[in-house]
Structure 1
Amino acid sequence: MPVGIEAWIAEIPPVTRAWLALSVTISIVVQCQFVTSLQLYFSFRSAFLNLQPWRAVTTFLYFGPMSRDFLFHLFFTVRYSRILEESSFANKQADYLWLLLQSAVLLLVVSPLFSLPYLSHPLAFVPIYVWARQHPSTQVSVFGLATVTAPYFPFALVLFSWITNGTWRADLAGCIVGHVVWFLKDVWSREAFGGIGWYTNAPAPMRRWFGQAEA
């Protein structure tokens, strides 16, 4: 592997780096046919009634087979997850992981409403949505085709996916969950508790694991 790639990976903050590593590993494992994609999707029956709980985790890590579409989605995931972890969650990696875990639980709950067996793309939309709402005046280019203010960017991506692939449910589910966690973290907690709430701060053991200062 070129030194440049190694340096780039080393610069990625820990939560985003782990997300990238696990996603690439799982796609390679599927590509090498050690497991099949059918062993990774989520359904309540398979995960909990058939005692296959790993599905509640792998559904967030499988972005599809190694392909151009896989690289495209992984690029967007790493880009905006890294931006969010390095800005709003600088030195608060435990809180960022806590936000992703809360988002994952919400996506598991709403997945039957959207008929979504794989939840990697919706979860990837959460950092995009949260970042966009935190930077309401930032101008963002949508693939060089148009420029929109950041809060409209996630919905522009939903529209783009619908036009190009005919898919929109996964991205829209990510926007909905992203809005919920953003509202709880940045709006309701500030108005109700002065910016601190039990749902926005990671549990103490998780903070200690990351070496994060107590809230």
Structure 2
Amino acid sequence: MAYQTFQQEYLQIPVVTRAYTTACVLTTAAVQLELITPFQLYFNPDLILRNYQVWRIITNFLFFGPVGFNFLFNMIFLYRYCRMLEEGSFRGRTADFVFMFLFGGLLMTIFGTFVSLVFLGQAFTIMLVYVWSRRNPNVRMNFFGLLNFQAPFLPWVLMGFSLLLGNSIIVDLLGIAVGHVYFFLEDVFPNQPGGGRWLKTPSFLKMLFDTPEDDANYNPLPEERPGGFGWGEGQRLGG
């Protein structure tokens, strides 16, 4: 019975969020069980170009370090904000969501080459948080019960939290930068005088991922429900 309940809940998670978070958890489990090592996963342009180890382009986004506080923190934020985007502004637009993944991953890979980052999963999480926060500007957040602020400040609060933990903020800045580039090209520039839409989802992605109509019985997680586990709670202004 418990297994069936878990299976039902698991299958209720939208497909992109389910695929990415599952891949991250399985990759970390494989490292913990010593089936693979982080040295086989990290981003290394020389090994990719000279030794054709092309899997590193993907695997560096799947490993968040050994199981511990940092891993759990990243997984919770990755799952919640990825799901809220997929069930909110990307509802019924799976192909567009996949294209955002590909665009963000490509941009991070290019930037990561110059700043010598070996794992980009945390930056990718910050990118998702940034896009969600800019699309939900009126949501008021509460972080650890200590700080009250509006959603657009959330990525910067997370960066400050990383700084307090003694982590490098380059990863956070990269995620914010890539998130801003996507948000500007997708949400801001097309609405400017003389602007236009530069990001267009390829038709083959739409054929692969978009379905003609949504399931009427599907019950999504509201996009305006931010944070989780006491690390970020909020409500929409006026609601």
TM-score of the superposed pair, with normalisation by structure 2: 0.82
For residues 37-76 of structure 1, the aligned pairs below 5 Å read: 37-76=38-77
Task: Measure, in 2, the Cα distance between the counterparts of 1:3 and 1:79.
Answer: 22
CA drift at 1:187: 0.6
Q: Please state how far the C-alpha of 1:113 moved relative to its aligned partner.
A: 3.5
Matched with 1:114 is 115
Taking a change above 3 Å as real, the CA distance of residues 151 and 74 of structure 1, as seen in their structure-2 partners, is same
SS in 2 for 1:148: strand
User: Residue 204 in 1 paired to residue 203 in 2?
Assistant: yes
Deviation of 1:147 after TM superposition, in Å, equals 1.0
Q: Secondary structure of 1:16's match?
A: helix
Q: How does 1:77-156 map to 2 (within 5 A)?
A: 77-156=78-157
Greater helix proportion: 1
Q: C-alpha distance in 2, partners of 1:208/1:118?
A: 31
Match of 2:235 in 1: none
What is the CA–CA distance in structure 1 between the aligned matches of 2:9 and 2:44, rounded to whole Å?
A: 36
Whose Rg is larger?
2
State the alpha-carbon separation in 1 of the partners of residues 194 and 36 from structure 2.
46
How do residues 176-191 of structure 1 correspond to structure 2 at under 5 angstroms? 176-191=177-192
Query: Once the 2 structures are TM-superposed, how far is the Cα of residue 3 of structure 1 from its aligned partner?
Result: 4.5
CA drift of 1:35 comes to 1.2
Task: Describe the SS at the equivalent of 2:148.
Answer: strand
Q: Percent identity?
A: 34
| Partner deviation per Cα, 1:68-116 (whole Å, 9 max, x = no partner) | 3212211100100100111110000110110011000000111134331
* Deviation at residue 198 of structure 1 after TM alignment: 4.8
d(CA) in 1 for partners of 2:66 and 2:5? 25
Contact 2:57–2:109, Cα closer than 8 Å, also in 1: yes
Question: Structure 1: 5+ residue runs without aligned partners?
Answer: none
Q: Aligned partner of 1:45: which letter?
A: D
C-alpha displacement at 1:211, in angstroms?
A: 3.0
- The Cα RMSD (Å) is 1.8
* In structure 1, distance between residues paired with 2:30 and 2:65: 11
Q: Which amino acid aligns with 1:91?
A: G
Which amino acid in the other structure matches residue 84 of structure 2?
Answer: I
Alignment CA distance shift 1:165-1:38 (3 Å): same
- Deviations 1:12-66 (CA, angstroms, capped at 9, x unpaired): 1110100011111111111111211011010211211221111000011111122
**Is the 1:62–1:120 contact (alpha carbons within 8 Å) kept by the matching residues of 2?**
yes
Counterpart CA distance in 1 for 2:144 and 2:51 is: 43
CA contact 2:126–2:176 (8 Å) conserved in 1: yes
Contact 1:94 1:212 in 2 (8 A): no
